[in-house]
Amino acid sequence: MKVESAGFLYAEVVAYEKVTVLEVYRSIRVDLAGEVYAPVRTFLAANEHEQISEVEVEDPEMYGQKAIRTFYRLV
């Protein structure tokens, strides 16, 4: 799964040696109930997961000048 919406959202499933994660990088202005986030919401609803980290960062390239990076471990 990979989603890209410049300035708003980037999400991708990444497989490491012993774990598979979903990395979600989104503008602080992205509505979690909105259309832009819908593919991520649908993926999370269909796959067992555990949120392992979330951090807010400054990012002048993202809408609102800030972003939230969240990692989910897929079970």
- 41-69 b/e (C-beta count within 10 Å ≥ 16 → b): eebbeeeebeeeeeeeeebeebbeeebbe
Report the pLDDT value the prediction gives residue 4, as an integer from 0 to 100.
Answer: 95
In the chain, the number of structural domains is 1
How far is it, in rounded angstroms, from Cα 35 to Cα 62?
17
Residue 51's pLDDT is 98
- What is the distance of C-alpha 36 from the center of its chain? 11
- Domain containing 31 equals 2-74
Q: What tens digit of pLDDT does each residue of 11-64 get?
A: 999 999 999 999 999 999 999 999 999 999 999 999 999 999 999 999 999 999
CB of 11 closer than 8 Å to CB of 3: yes
